[in-house]
Every structure is written in C-alpha cells, then in structure tokens.
Chain A
Amino acid sequence: QKEVEQDPGPLSVPEGAIVSLNCTYSNSAFQYFMWYRQYSRKGPELLMYTYSSGNKEDGRFTAQVDKSSKYISLFIRDSQPSDSATYLCAMSGRQGAQKLVFGQGTRLTINP
C-alpha cells in the first residue's frame, strides 16, 4: 500500500462546476499538506499549503485537512477551462523530515 493514495481519474466536469479532489494517507507523522497543479510539460506549481488540520481558502480554491481520518481535499469553485491540469497532493512530516510524499495525481478536464 502506498503512503499516499490519490484517484488518478481522469475527471471531466462542465465549466462552472464545483470540483472535489481527494487524497488519503497512512502515515500519522505527516503535518504539512500541499496541493500542486501541473500543466502538461511543466513542473508542479504550488496551489495550497496547510499545516495540520483545518481549512484554508484562497480565491476559488479551498483546502481541507482531516488528520483524524487521514484525509485531505481540494475544492475548486466556479471551475474554468484554465483549471484543466493534473492536481497532485503532497505531504511531509515534522520539521527536519524534508522529503515530500506525493499522490499519483488526478487529471482534471473542465469542459467549456
């Protein structure tokens, strides 16, 4: 079993829909949680960065972390065709444990 599980999709939704992307993990030591967006032939671009449990909102994006369930989510409101990309969740442990552990990535397409 992988440390971080993410449904690879692909996921296709109409423009304007609310998108929900999720990851589960098994390592209770993870404290920092991130969502990256990756366009084709580009590197991962940091979207959201949260520490421990709770919600964080940035414009149309909301990240949620539920450490008790070992479950994180990214919500995209009013989705746009420009949101079409692969979304990667990533996490790391306490300070000093620097490596990021990534999910497989979910390929998302927003249809106009």
Chain B
Amino acid sequence: GAGVSQSPRYKVTKRGQDVALRCDPISGHVSLYWYRQALGQGPEFLTYFNYEAQQDKSGLPNDRFSAERPEGSISTLTIQRTEQRDSAMYRCASSATGGDQPQHFGDGTRLSIL
C-alpha cells in the first residue's frame, strides 16, 4: 500500500512481557516518527529518525522504551517489562524530508497490558 503501515493492529500481553511494534513508512520517506496517543488526547512525541540515525529520543518515557531503524526503512519500537500504564495507541508517521515536510500517520497499534 501507499500509506504508513503498522503491525500488529492490536496487541494484548501480560504485564512484564516485552513487546515489539513495527512500522513500515511510506516508500522513500527519509524521516520516521513514533508517537503515543491516549484516549481523548492528541498524539505525544516519543522519538524520530532521519534515515537510520535516531535524532531525538527525548519523548521516550523511560529506559524500558527503545527504538531502532537499522536500514533506514522499517522501524521497531520495543517496550521491555511492560506495565499497565504502557497501554495506549502507538502511532508511527513518516515524512519525505526533515524540517518542512508534513508527517503522514499510520492507523496505529493498540497495546493493552493486562
């Protein structure tokens, strides 16, 4: 497809487990962003990449959260030792270049921690 693709769409896991969320950006898009969206709120920034380089990870809540984009295309957001407060919609976006191109979002992964 032409849009940002995220998988899985839904993930339910027990507290303490690790989870990996995948994002496949629009083909050719240089920049990739991760956001987290709580119900009834706008997305909140987590981290972003230009190509394979992580440029800003200031929004990651703590060191249980990490992200990578090893080949400058697909990215994985990993949450270790999940906690119930990690339950949210995780969204990925991509843009054609860095500064002045708009971000296009995927439909997200709904993460539920039991």
Contacts and interface: CB of A to CB of B under 8 A. Distances in A.
A34 B42 CA distance: 13
A13 B1 CA distance: 35
Contacts of A100: 33, 35, 43, 45, 93, 103
Interface of B: 4, 31, 33, 35, 40-45, 48, 55-56, 58-59, 91, 93, 98-100, 102-108
Interface stretch (A54-62, A65-73, A89-97): A89-97
A1 to B, nearest CB: 15
B33 A99 contact: yes
Nearest to B97: A95
A98 B31 contact: yes
Interface string A8-40: 100000000000000000000000101010000
Given A43-B105, A88-B42, A99-B45, 18 more contacts: A36-B105, A42-B107, A43-B107, A43-B108, A44-B105, A45-B105, A46-B104, A49-B102, A90-B42, A95-B100, A98-B55, A98-B98, A99-B59, A100-B33, A100-B35, A102-B44, A103-B42, A104-B40
14 contacts: A34-B102, A36-B105, A43-B105, A43-B106, A43-B107, A43-B108, A44-B105, A51-B100, A98-B48, A99-B59, A100-B43, A104-B40, A104-B42, A105-B40
Given A43-B105, A43-B108, A95 B99 contact: yes
B91 A43 contact: yes
The B interface, classified by DSSP as helix, strand, loop or mixed, is loop
A85 interface: no
Contacts of A95: 98-100
Contacts of B93: 100
A98 B42 contact: no
A4 B75 CA distance: 28
B48 A99 contact: yes
Contacts of B33: 98-100
Given A43-B105, A43-B106, A99-B56, A8 B40 contact: yes
